[in-house]
Amino acid sequence: MTTAGTVTWQIINQSLNVAINNANSNKSSPLSTKTIIQSYLLAVSASCGVAVGLNAIVPRLKRISPNTKLILGRLVPFAAVASAGALNVFLMRGEEIRRGIDIFPVQTEAEKAEREKSGKEVASLGKSRKAAFLAVGETAISRVLNATPIMVIPPLVLVRLQKTEWLKQRPRMVLPVNLGLILTTSIFALPLALGAFPQRQAISAKSLEEEYWDKGGEGGLIEFNRGI
């Protein structure tokens, strides 16, 4: 892919990431429009910088075999997407880390039943920056977990398949085979990445700021919405 093509697809990818991260954030501490634009530009710049930089470096490596160089070249998009994807999460949800997110005591079954009857919402105990960092950090890890199998397995398998006589004689099948590998991997990778960490996270109150240590609910636990 040319440099222009690399930059174009990285911009498209990070634009999608910005939309997803903004829509699925905790919302306790929303970003201003100005901050969203700044975060978007930083995320796009990071992904394009990594992709273009690695594409320029890999061909100049002299102490590795051509096959290794080929494999590294195929993994450049993964390095760009994974690193920029994680950075994108921290940028788009940075306000949560700075200001904290709402935390709530974990309720007993009796308390949940009473709340359902009354329709009353559970009051927030306050905003915790430690909970926010955990929520954003786990979401960033899930982005890497999602990108890893999808952007590592298909290109490596395709490198091996392109050496077979069957695919050498059928060059037009490279694209369908590649798309098939990506689809098959995505079917398993996306649910696993989304399910790696619970959206409604429960942790010990003792792991948060000292002011919340004695405010835990059932089992001394506090919960919060991690986002997706």
Which segment, 13-17, 46-50, 85-89, 178-182, is predicted with the most confidence on average?
178-182
Residue 132 has pLDDT above 90, yes or no: yes
Q: Where are the alpha helices (DSSP H) in 93-168?
A: 94-99, 109-118, 129-161, 165-168
Rounded Cα distance, 152 and 155, in Å: 6
**pLDDT in the model for residue 212:** 92
**pLDDT in the model for residue 222:** 93
Residue 177 has pLDDT above 80, yes or no: yes
Asked whether 84 and 50 are in contact (CB, 8 A), the reply is: yes
**pLDDT tens-digit readout, 93-108:** 888 898 999 999 998 8
**pLDDT in the model for residue 173:** 92
**pLDDT in the model for residue 110:** 82
Asked whether 44 and 88 are in contact (CB, 8 A), the reply is: no
Give the total number of structural domains in the chain.
Answer: 1
Residue 221 has pLDDT above 90, yes or no: yes
Rounded Cα distance, 216 and 210, in Å: 11
Residue 125 has phi, psi (to 5 degrees) of -80, -15
Residue 197 has phi, psi (to 5 degrees) of -130, 140
What average pLDDT does range 86-92 have in this prediction?
A: 84
Asked whether 29 and 100 are in contact (CB, 8 A), the reply is: yes
Indicate the pLDDT class of residue 44, thresholds 50, 70 and 90.
Answer: confident
What average pLDDT does range 140-157 have in this prediction?
A: 88
Residue 29 has pLDDT above 80, yes or no: no
Q: In this structure, which amino acid lies at residue 39?
A: S
Expressed as residue numbers, the domain containing 79 is: 3-225
Count CB-CB contacts under 10 A for residue 51: 24
Residue 83 has pLDDT above 90, yes or no: no
**pLDDT in the model for residue 32:** 79
Residue 122 has pLDDT above 90, yes or no: no
